[in-house]
Amino acid sequence: MDIDAYSDYFVCSGCGHETPSDVFCTFCSRCHEPFTLESRSPARVFHWNKKGLFKRFGEFLPLDMMEPSADLGTGGTPLVPLTAVADKYGLPPLYAKMESAEPTGSFKDRGTAVAVQKALDLGIPAIGTVSTGNMAASTAAYGARAGLKTVVLVKEDTSEDKIKAAGIFGASMVRVRGDYGALFRKSLELGRKHGIWFMNSVDPFRIEGYKTLSFEIYDDLSEKPPEYVCVPVSAGGHLTGLIKGFEVLKRTGLTEAFPRMIGVQAAGCSPIVQAFRGGESHITRFNHPKTIAHAISNPDPPAGRLILKKMREHGGEMTAVTDAQILQAQRDLASLEGIFCQPASATTLAGWIRFTQSHPVDRSSQCVLVITGSGLKTVDLVDSNALFIKDSDLNELDSLFMDI
């Protein structure tokens, strides 16, 4: 389907340099900060009553052409109330936005869906990504569906299961020895050379897809933003997109309100929290990261400075939580709410509990936790010793039931 030209261009989030958009340039050549995407096009409208990400929000996406049939059913994830958890911890109205229900089981799908449409739009035949998990599966799946050649670069110690869960889509999987940060930069350089669009974590087009999560949260809550949104922070792309989404809602006049964003990192890898708390404007690489929340263990986040700037501009807050707090939150979400999420996603509950302990929060304030990924991808991290497991034979069952 055709829409009016979006007339997008890039603005450097560091030095403000403006340039035509180019999918092969994620970072500004002058200051090495990531580009963000802006549009010169006139005001656009939402189509709330339609179904599917592209039909509902297509006018706010940087696409001149869209092929909804190339989509996998992105977006439209449930928002569910967390009554039992709120009761346990004495919290005001709490909700979970279930990005774990996306087609490949993580929030990455919104970004991949938009970037892959852009690749089709521009006629780019090959895409790639650098990932340790969620992004690998997402990019490989959408790339396969769109008929694009797809390359996924992973660290040499990536588990067999994670390689299988992306490789099944027919992507070229490459295990690469060496530093992950260097691999991230190298992929962009080689991608440019070979005509492979590496849509990595802070790609400006990927970030445009994340905006749609904010649109849906606004809609799910009967056309108003919540007072708070808690989201895990790794490279910074997802949070950047969420903030952009709420900025759009405000700019279009749909609401005056802007939620207070709470970015959460694992204490064992919290470079943005440290810089935010220390009043710094740049990120210092986090040495010896160690946390069970692997999906957000990024010691040198490429959108870190952008996050610091945006969070300060909007009165956001950054907080860190320990692995013990993360695992407790994961168990609470599962055993009280029936939600099995990744440790990285559980940081949102742990972070919100921590935040409310040190900040006054109005009893009527609504808070949305973004459940970024399915626990089915990290089953190996569940500790069996914390579960109730018994052995029995058929005859013993009767007496066993008396104790249950």
Residues 92-111 that bind its own copies (CB under 8 A): 98, 101-105
Q: What is the CA radius of gyration of the chain?
A: 21
Does 160 participate in binding its own copies (rule CB under 8 A)? Answer: yes
Binding its own copies by CB under 8 A: which of 143, 232, 236, 241?
Answer: 143
Nearest residue (CB) to its own copies, 182 versus 257: 182
Does 387 participate in binding its own copies (rule CB under 8 A)? Answer: yes
State how beta strands 228-232 and 367-371 pair.
parallel
Nearest residue (CB) to its own copies, 291 versus 374: 374
| Residues present in the chain in total | 404
Site for its own copies in 357-376 (CB under 8 A): 374-376
Cα–Cα distance measured from residue 349 to residue 362, given in angstroms and rounded to the nearest whole number: 17
Least separation in angstroms between residue 272's CB and its own copies is 26
Does 157 participate in binding its own copies (rule CB under 8 A)? Answer: no
Does 327 participate in binding its own copies (rule CB under 8 A)? Answer: no
Cα–Cα distance measured from residue 225 to residue 133, given in angstroms and rounded to the nearest whole number: 30
Least separation in angstroms between residue 326's CB and its own copies is 14
Least separation in angstroms between residue 94's CB and its own copies is 12
Q: Extract the tokens encoding 213.
A: 């999560």
Contact stretch for its own copies (CB under 8 A) within 38-46, 162-170, 311-319, 362-370: 162-170
Q: Extract the tokens encoding 160.
A: 């067999």
Least separation in angstroms between residue 133's CB and its own copies is 11
Site string for its own copies, 175-204 (x = CB under 8 A): xxxxx--xx--xx--x--xx-x--------
Does 269 participate in binding its own copies (rule CB under 8 A)? Answer: no
Does 144 participate in binding its own copies (rule CB under 8 A)? Answer: yes
Kindly state the number of chain residues that form the binding site for its own copies, as judged by CB under 8 A.
89
Long-range contacts of 384-390 (CB under 8 A, 24+ apart): 386/331
C-beta separation of 14 from 27 below 8 A: no
Site for its own copies in 62-81 (CB under 8 A): 69, 71-73, 76-81
Cα–Cα distance measured from residue 198 to residue 131, given in angstroms and rounded to the nearest whole number: 11
Query: What does the DSSP assignment read for 324-346?
Result: HHHHHHHHHHHHHH---B-HHHH
Nearest residue (CB) to its own copies, 4 versus 396: 396
Site for its own copies in 333-352 (CB under 8 A): 334-340
State how beta strands 94-98 and 79-81 pair.
antiparallel
Site string for its own copies, 3-22 (x = CB under 8 A): --------------------
Q: Extract the tokens encoding 277.
A: 């708390």
Of 151, 161, 188, 165, the closest CA to residue 25 belongs to 188
Contact stretch for its own copies (CB under 8 A) within 163-171, 244-252, 313-321, 361-369: 163-171
Phi/psi of residue 250, each to 5°? Answer: -70, -45
User: What b-and-e string marks burial along 6-28, b requiring 16 or more CB atoms within 10 Å of the CB?
Assistant: bebbbbbbbeeeeeebebebbbb
Q: Extract the tokens encoding 212.
A: 């749609």
Least separation in angstroms between residue 399's CB and its own copies is 10
What burial class does residue 342 get, using C-beta atoms within 10 Å of its C-beta: 0-12 exposed, 13-18 middle, 19+ buried?
buried
Does 392 participate in binding its own copies (rule CB under 8 A)? Answer: yes
